[in-house]
């Protein structure tokens, strides 16, 4: 009998054994589903976890491992971020993928929800949640650039205006906010909101609302309606997502494929917590951690 030994050197393999273990599990799942599986998991508790242009290069590493016109499962967890960067991730994936199935093990919010709209199907279970499309804009703070929800920033400015109009003294809590606000940022907030709505409708018409622009616009308007969803963190579970008109496939926690996806996801969040990572990008061949 011939032993099947890893191609890596013993020490290198041992140091990276967790990564190789996950990639072996990805291959096992792919053999069952007959689809390629790529992973983008962000640390939801980290202040730099937003989708940005910095994600394009590591995500491209995953896409280059895909065959042309393949069927893809895309496991995604992210709090959202820059809608332009989100659109670039979608464009990159569509350069290879024929059919996209989004796997949402836990949270895909805002711009991550927008990415999900480009999929043919969104797979969710009882732990899964999407969120309203609430675009983030970069803002200068004493701690450097951070991403803030555009809706929340505009609402805060409206509150400050009302209080000032009533002759109330400026609340000291508003000072850090106002220090980073100028006319250009306000304009960027308005444009980001409109752009997110337009992108959402466009990607819905790719598959989930194919040849149905009215349906796509209706879903996009609901997901960007701050009266319907006033909080960035608001939960849209599988039933509500389906009720909005999205093509949602519900898998119970007893489903074999979901159990495999969930076990893989648990490996990622454990890796992130143990090593203080911000994001993990992985396929059965490529692997990038930040």
Between 91-95, 104-108, 144-148, 275-279, the lowest mean confidence (pLDDT) is in 144-148
Q: Is residue 27 assigned to a domain?
A: yes
Phi, psi of 275 (to 5 degrees): -115, 5
Q: Is residue 124 part of a domain?
A: yes
pLDDT computed for residue 53 by the predictor: 95
Q: For residue 90, what is the domain's CATH number? A: 3.90.226.10
- Give the domain extent around 68: 16-136+185-289
46-52: average pLDDT = 92
Residue 169 pLDDT level (bands cut at 50, 70, 90): confident
Residue range 176-201: average pLDDT? 82
Q: Does the residue 271 lie in any domain?
A: yes
Domain count for the chain, please give it. 1
| CA separation, residue 290 to residues 46, 179, 287 (Å) | 12, 30, 10
pLDDT in the model for residue 177: 66
Between 170 and 117, residue with greater pLDDT: 117
Contact 241, 122 (CB under 8 A): yes
User: Residue 44: inside a domain, yes or no?
Assistant: yes
Q: Is residue 5 part of a domain?
A: no
pTM for this entry = 0.87
Q: Do 124 and 106 meet the contact criterion of CB atoms below 8 Å apart?
A: no
The string of pLDDT tens digits covering residues 78-121 is 999 888 899 999 999 999 999 999 999 999 999 999 999 999 99
Answer whether residue 55 is part of any domain: yes
145: in domain: no
Is 235 within the bounds of a domain? yes
Nearest to 260 by CA among 88, 12, 75, 62: 75
Q: Which of 229, 238, 243 is nearest to 133 (CA)?
A: 229
251-269: average pLDDT: 98
In DSSP notation, 178-189 reads: HHT--HHHHHHH
Q: pLDDT for 118-138, tens place per residue? A: 999 999 999 999 999 987 777
């Amino acid at each position: 009998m011939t032993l099947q030994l890893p191609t890596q050197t013993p020490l290198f393999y041992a140091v990276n054994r967790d990564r190789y273990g996950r990639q072996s599990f990805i291959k096992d799942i792919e053999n069952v589903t007959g689809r390629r599986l790529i992973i983008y998991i962000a640390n939801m508790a980290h202040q730099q976890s937003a989708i940005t242009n910095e994600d394009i290069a590591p995500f491209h590493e995953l896409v280059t491992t895909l065959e042309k016109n393949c069927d893809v499962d895309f496991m995604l967890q992210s709090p959202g971020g820059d809608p332009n960067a989100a659109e670039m991730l979608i464009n990159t994936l569509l350069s290879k993928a024929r059919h996209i199935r989004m796997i949402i093990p836990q949270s895909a919010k805002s711009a991550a929800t927008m990415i999900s709209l480009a999929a043919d199907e969104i797979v969710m279970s009882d732990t899964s949640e999407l969120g309203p499309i609430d675009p983030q804009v970069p803002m200068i703070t004493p701690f450097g650039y951070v991403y803030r929800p555009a809706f929340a920033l505009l609402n805060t400015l409206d509150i400050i205006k009302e209080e000032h109009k009533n002759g109330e003294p400026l609340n000291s809590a508003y000072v850090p906010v106002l220090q980073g606000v100028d006319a250009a940022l306000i304009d960027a907030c308005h444009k980001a909101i409109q752009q997110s709505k337009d992108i959402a409708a466009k990607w819905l018409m790719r598959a989930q609302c194919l040849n149905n622009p009215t349906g796509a616009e209706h879903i996009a308007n609901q997901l960007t309606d701050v009266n319907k969803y006033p909080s960035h963190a608001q939960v849209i579970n599988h039933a509500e997502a389906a009720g909005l008109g999205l093509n949602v496939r519900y898998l119970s926690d007893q489903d074999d494929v979901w159990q495999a996806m969930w076990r893989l996801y648990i490996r990622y969040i454990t890796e992130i917590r143990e090593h203080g990572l911000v994001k993990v990008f992985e396929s059965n061949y490529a692997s990038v951690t930040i």
